[in-house]
A and B are shown apart, each in its own frame.
Chain A
């Protein structure tokens, strides 16, 4: 089968599948919920991947995911605002904190950046259960009203399509940015910062922009997630939440728009399948092992697999002649 013929249509096929998921899931709330959460994590992983495209690998994106979640949940429940609006506030709040954190991070090299972001997520969690426990509800967390009130007909479906719309918006925005001047500047900074500087690109400004926007989108994703769950606890700042977008992006393909989408689908299917056969800790062990193997043997992720297979076939045919 020649995959190349389908290539131009892949986007449309993916979109059609995404639109049709609720039809397949009709009657099964579990499938629909899993699909909705997968969409949220696609948004979140795209945010992480956008930051990675600027050469910055964050190990603490749960900080922004969680801050967006808390900001949205608290404004929605305290002031009675509709979650559809407070989600945006969650994003803006995460972006604000993201810019502050970014200011200390943008001048840092890979290791320092990774350590600092890793630390920030854990420390924000600590602050949430100690200093800010009065506002955040401590370890018990706080309630979050549903994204789409259950009075709306077909609420779970409306919610699914709403999240899908956000995802498509995020994808279009990131695509436009990465194909334009900003994408070029990111690539220049990522490959050689000194040369980028010499050609008049200010790395600090671009990195800060990436940080702010990535935090904003991660915050929106966090808010969307907790309005689905109905409550938010400080667990949302955990290392698991920081690491999922990394796992999704890397297994799919780092630095590509399709990567996080492919990775999220593949890992979610695997994850839910392993749950189906009753594994608990072993699931994490398997995912950890797969991540290690991917980094070592398939560093460009699943999206690079067709190309790899084609190259391998061509080589084999060449040998056969």
Chain B
């Protein structure tokens, strides 16, 4: 089977597009881990809540769903801060397994709370740009893919600017590097925990909006599979490393897209398994991760 350049580009582009949602999730997981040293296993549920918030706002206002990103992200930011303050902070510093068990309670709470509020049926909306495409040479790119990739790049650049160019970013990075030293320099590390969790939730919320506008279906239980993929990417890129999450996410999206194209759709989800095992056997702390914590 001869693969021409057009097909190759198509696979690459699909991969970039699919990778966007995983990158946003994985970056959030790593941001939270970097600062709090906690993995939020209910992260996929934040994606789901983001999707429903966008959907609700869309049903109420009928605005262009891309614009609703501006509303969904702050809602999830506040939601994340509340979750950190009410659930994670009380167990911070106790046994690590407690934080994992807490996330499980949150998964139950969020999934079924969402089912109570929004119902458990599949939902989807159609993007206003659904039928439009950008033609480059021999192949057509759906306009939505282009916008989603651009939005993701915009969000990541914004996050990078926040982390590198502001005092808040400096404080977040300091907390992540050395919590005690940060505390001694007068940084309110508990506030940094809340902000990091809020930012992570906001990124998941953005991913939720993008999920909805790309026309994919969603229900209250949609979060677990993307979350597993985000964890695979986190493991691939190294726990706590944001560049690792981005590179890992891109690699993962392209690998998934290539596997779907060459092996068939059934392998789409199983590829995360293979990626996980290969990476873990070769390097138990991930490709870019440091040894130990």
Contacts and interface: CB of A to CB of B under 8 A. Distances in A.
A247 B272 CA distance: 27
B231 A288 contact: no
Nearest to A57: B97
Nearest to A123: B273
Nearest to A104: B280
Interface string A229-258: 000000000010001001100100010000
B273 A291 contact: no
Given A115-B235, A296-B90, A250 B101 contact: yes
B239 A291 contact: no
Interface in A268-298: 281-285, 287-292, 295-296
Interface residues of B, number: 48
A119 B231 CA distance: 8
Contacts of B267: 130
A110 B284 CA distance: 12
B104 A246 contact: yes
B6 interface: no
B4 interface: no
B95 to A, nearest CB: 8
Contacts of B224: 122, 239
A131 B108 contact: no
Interface string A116-147: 10111011001100110000000000000000
A108 interface: yes
A289 B107 CA distance: 10
Q: Chain A binding site: helix, strand, loop or mixed by DSSP?
A: helix
A119 B87 contact: no
A247 B104 CA distance: 9
A243 B108 contact: yes
A126 B87 contact: no
B235 A116 contact: yes
Given A59-B100, A110-B100, A111-B39, A281 B280 contact: no
B241 to A, nearest CB: 14
Interface string A86-122: 0000000000000000001001111110111011101
The listed residue with most A CB atoms (<10 A of its CB), out of B96, B108, B277, is B108
Interface string B206-226: 000000000000000000110
Interface string B165-185: 000000000000000000000
B109 A118 contact: no
A246 B106 CA distance: 13
Contact of A295 (B91, B116, B270): B91
Contacts of B110: 288
Given A112-B235, A119-B228, A246-B101, A284 B284 contact: no
B102 interface: yes
A127 B272 CA distance: 12
Contact of B231 (A104, A108, A115): A115
Contact of A110 (B94, B97, B269, B280): B97
A248 to B, nearest CB: 12
A207 to B, nearest CB: 13
Contacts of B270: 123, 126-127, 130-131
Interface in B235-293: 235, 239, 266-267, 269-270, 272-273, 276-277, 280-281, 284-285, 293
Contacts of A285: 108-109, 112-113, 116
A52 interface: yes
Given A115-B235, A123-B273, A292 B109 contact: yes
A299 interface: yes
B107 A239 contact: yes
Given A116-B276, A296-B90, A296-B91, A291 B104 contact: yes
Contacts of A247: 104
B115 interface: yes
B234 interface: yes
Nearest to B286: A112
A41 B52 CA distance: 34
A109 B37 CA distance: 13
A118 B104 CA distance: 11
B239 A111 contact: yes
A289 B39 CA distance: 19
Contacts of A111: 33, 39, 96, 100, 239
Given A110-B100, A123-B228, A123-B272, 10 more contacts: A57-B101, A112-B285, A122-B225, A123-B273, A130-B267, A285-B113, A285-B116, A288-B105, A288-B110, A295-B102
25 contacts: A52-B97, A59-B104, A110-B97, A112-B280, A115-B228, A118-B228, A119-B276, A120-B273, A122-B224, A122-B228, A122-B269, A127-B273, A130-B270, A131-B266, A239-B107, A243-B107, A246-B101, A254-B97, A281-B113, A288-B110, A288-B112, A292-B87, A296-B87, A296-B102, A299-B98
Closest 6 CB pairs of A and B: A288-B108, A291-B105, A130-B266, A284-B112, A292-B105, A288-B109
